[in-house]
């Protein structure tokens, strides 16, 4: 029987590439998205569409109550930074950091995995190109994996050995895009902007847009996404 | 400045004892409860009342979407076991196990801690009296603590060193009750039943009620709670 994969799917470039990689490896896909009060809700619509396009067996959208804690530009009334150089981005943990986000998301993914009988969790984190987030580093992923295996019935009973797959963790944005293009992924399905307008159109100037554009440029491909600001 | 403690407060006997211990140690209290679709919602009312009684600075109730995953007698239409002997309880992981529950709860607590500037998380887990849950064991707690310090901005920047306090982890139910009584805790404020009736009255026959009753008996105190079945 083919193995089941839980894909943490934001609808962005990275997690969608991860989904395509898992599909290529023959996994049955169970996608999980989070509605955490983010400003960029268009991501959730993308995640839903992508799940359908790639024949996920299930797509779950979990409401996560992070907004009441606050503390991040992605959920709070803090301004999302724009027009930064990519060099600047890697110097400090950005205000778009959401407290304990990946720990929380992985916990939900773990619960989901245990219930559907999956032992493979796929996460599109990246430690190279945008190293500001502490919960995107290999040592963090390793610690969570250990926690997962100690803290679950399936792990303790030896029925499952949970693995957190992070195939993009050491890749640059350009390498990720090349990988996806080789697998035939249409990046027009994906969306990564932190601050889209009401029609869901990407701003073109937030960190996420700038990294995406630079990635396409370096990879030598056209980005199929339309931006409000294209320079 | 007095340190802030995040108390994971279910409104049950254990977590309320932990709250009183933290208060005794001089911490400022920030209580956190979870509405995870549990059958026993009376717990949430207790948690709110207890937070007021002990002057918590904040009490937050977070809605957690576990019901949609299912897989537990506490959130699903699986029957809660009753009339079991305490010896039987410790032999296997019970159906009241909720997948990845403590990992999820601790993740929220961590986010909350990071936002309010606390580095002390208090959790009323117990590995002795009811050893069925994998996420109540010291090795699990240690793994989560490591994850917390690797996966947060505060941890990585060295501003905080998160500690998961589990003062009850090696205590029997009777020892916990004795401890609380010594600190003047009125256990009539607490509630632990997995399957209360519509008025919120404890059943008296689920694992949690049986353990509580046995604990009071062994500690030599009267349990101020009224049960539907008292034998």
pLDDT surpasses 80 at B76: no
* B171-216: pLDDT as tens digits: 999 999 999 999 999 999 998 888 888 888 899 998 889 989 999 9
Going by C-beta distance under 8 Å and a sequence separation of 6 or more, which residues neighbour residue A30?
A4, A5, A6, A7, A56, A57, A58, A59, A60, A112, A116, A118
Q: Which residues of A touch B108 (CB under 8 A)?
A: 65, 100, 104
Does the beta-carbon distance from B100 to A110 stay under 8 Å?
yes
Question: Can you give the pLDDT at residue A91?
Answer: 52
Closest CA of chain A from B116, distance in Å: 8
Location of structure tokens 């956190």: B32
* Mean confidence (pLDDT) of chain A: 86
Q: What is the pLDDT of residue A136?
A: 85
Out of A144-153, B25-34, B53-62, B151-160, which region has the weakest mean confidence (pLDDT)?
A: B151-160
End-to-end CA gap in chain A: 49
pLDDT value, residue A37 = 74
Residues B210, B85: Cα–Cα separation, whole Å: 8
Question: Cα separation of B152 and B175, whole Å?
Answer: 35
Q: Is the dihedral of CA B102, B107, B111, B117 positive or negative?
A: positive
In Å, how far is A30's CA from the nearest CA of chain B? 12
Confidence band for A95, pLDDT divided at 50, 70 and 90: low
Q: Are A28 and A1 in contact (CB under 8 A)?
A: no
Contact state of B150 with A140 under an 8 Å Cβ cutoff: yes
Note whether A114 contacts B151, CB cutoff 8 Å: no
Work out the pLDDT band at A10, boundaries 50, 70, 90. very high
Is B156's CB within 8 Å of A148's CB? no
DSSP-assigned letter for residue A12? S
Q: Is the pLDDT of residue B41 over 80?
A: no
Residue A190 · residue A43 · CB < 8 Å: no
Token pair, residue A203, equals 């701003």
Q: Which residues pair with B33 in a beta bridge?
A: B61
What confidence score (pLDDT) does residue A81 get? Answer: 63
Q: What is the DSSP string of B5-70?
A: EEEE--SSHHHHHHHHHHHHTTPEEEEEEEE-S-S-THHHHHHHHHHHHTT-SEEEEEE---TTT-
Listed in sequence order, the residues at least 6 apart from A187 whose beta carbon sits closer than 8 Å to its beta carbon are A13, A16, A177, A180, A181, A223, A224, A225
Q: What percent of chain B has pLDDT over 90?
A: 54
**Residues of chain A contacting B63 with CB distance shorter than 8 Å:** 63, 65
- Please say whether the beta carbons of B100 and A145 come within 8 A: no
pLDDT, tens only, B114-156: 888 899 999 999 877 655 778 888 999 999 999 999 988 877 7
User: Where is pLDDT greater, at A20 or A192?
Assistant: A20
Task: Identify the pLDDT of residue A43.
Answer: 86
ipTM of the complex: 0.83
Residue range A22-44, pLDDT digits in tens: 999 999 999 999 988 776 778 89
pLDDT exceeds cutoff 80 at A1: no
Q: Is the confidence at residue A150, as pLDDT, over 70?
A: yes
Give CA separation, B18 vs A171, B15, B177, in Å.
45, 5, 11
Chain B residues touching A100 at Cβ < 8 A: 107-108, 110-111, 114, 148, 151-152
Looking at the structure, give the CATH architecture of the domain made up of residues B4-219: 3-Layer(aba) Sandwich (3.40)
Tokens of A214: 């630079």
Question: Would the CB atoms of A134 and B111 count as touching at under 8 Å?
Answer: no
Q: Do A151 and B157 touch (CB under 8 A)?
A: no
Cα-based distances in Å from B24 to B17, B169, B187: 11, 18, 17
State the nearest Cα–Cα gap between A177 and chain B, in angstroms.
26
Range name among A117-121, A168-172, B37-41, B74-78 with the lowest pLDDT average: B74-78
Cβ-based interface (< 8 Å): residues of B facing A: 60, 62-66, 68-71, 93, 97-104, 107-108, 110-112, 114-115, 134-135, 137, 139-140, 143-144, 146-148, 150-153, 155-157
**Tens of pLDDT along A152-179?**
887 777 777 899 999 999 999 999 999 9
Which of A72, A107, A142 has the most B C-beta neighbours within 10 Å, making it the best mutation to test the interface with B? Answer: A107
Q: What is the band of A122 on the pLDDT scale with cuts at 50, 70, 90?
A: very high
Higher-confidence residue of A65 and A137: namely A137
Residues of chain A in Cβ contact (below 8 Å) with chain B: 60, 62-66, 68-71, 93, 97-104, 107-108, 110-112, 114-115, 134-135, 137, 139-140, 143-144, 146-148, 150-153, 155-157
Name the residue facing A115 among B62, B71, B144 (closest C-beta): B71
**Average pLDDT, stretch B65-71?**
67
In DSSP notation, A79-120 reads: PPPBS--HHHHTSS--TT--TTHHHHHHHHHHHHHHHHT--E
**Closest chain A CA to residue B149:** A140
Tokens of B79: 């029957």
Give the C-alpha distances (Å, rounded to integers) separating A99 from A72, B112, B153, B214: 7, 8, 7, 41
The order of strands in the sheet holding B120-122 is B58-63, B28-35, B4-8, B120-122, B163-165
A155 CB neighbours in chain B (<8 A) are 134
Q: What confidence score (pLDDT) does residue B124 get?
A: 94
Percentage helix, strand, coil, to 5, in chain B?
Answer: 40, 15, 50
Give me the residue from A71, A139, A144 closest to B115, CB to CB. A71
Question: What mean pLDDT is predicted for residues A43-53?
Answer: 94
The answer to whether A3 and A28 are in contact (CB under 8 A) is yes
Q: With an 8 Å Cβ cutoff, are A114 and B100 in contact?
A: yes
Does the structure show a pLDDT above 70 at A130? Answer: no
Which residues of chain A neighbour B140 with C-beta distances below 8 Å?
147, 150-151
The alpha-carbon gap from A95 to the nearest alpha carbon of chain B, in Å, equals 10
pLDDT greater at residue A96 or residue A52: A52
B46 and B189 in contact (C-beta within 8 Å)? yes
Higher pLDDT, A206 or A32: A32
Most confident of A80-94, B69-83, B126-140: B126-140
Closest CA to A15 of A57, A53, A52, A43: A43
Distance CA A133, CA A124 (A): 13
Of B66, B140, B153, the CB nearest to A147: B140
Closest chain A CA to residue B64: A64
């Amino acid at each position: 029987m083919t193995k089941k994969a839980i894909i943490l799917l934001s609808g962005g470039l990275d997690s969608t590439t991860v989904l395509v990689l898992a599909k290529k490896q023959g996994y049955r896909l169970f996608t999980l998205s989070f509605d955490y009060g983010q400003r960029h809700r268009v991501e959730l619509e993308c995640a839903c569409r992508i799940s359908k396009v790639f024949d996920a067996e299930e797509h779950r959208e979990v409401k996560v109550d992070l907004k009441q804690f606050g503390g991040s530009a992605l959920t709070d009334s803090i301004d999302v930074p724009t027009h930064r150089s990519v060099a600047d981005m890697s110097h400090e943990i950005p205000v778009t950091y959401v407290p304990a986000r990946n720990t929380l998301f992985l916990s939900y993914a773990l619960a989901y995995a245990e219930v559907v009988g999956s032992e493979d969790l796929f996460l599109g984190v990246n430690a190279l190109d945008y190293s500001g987030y502490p919960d995107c580093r290999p040592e963090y992923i390793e610690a969570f994996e250990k926690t997962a295996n100690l803290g679950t019935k399936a792990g303790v009973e030896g029925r499952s050995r949970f693995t957190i797959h992070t195939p993009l963790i050491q890749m640059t944005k350009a390498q990720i895009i090349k990988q996806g293009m080789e697998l035939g992924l249409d990046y027009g399905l994906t969306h990564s902007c932190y601050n889209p307008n009401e029609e869901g159109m990407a701003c073109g100037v937030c960190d996420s847009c700038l990294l995406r554009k630079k990635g396409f440029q370096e990879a030598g491909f056209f980005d199929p996404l339309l931006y409000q600001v294209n320079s």
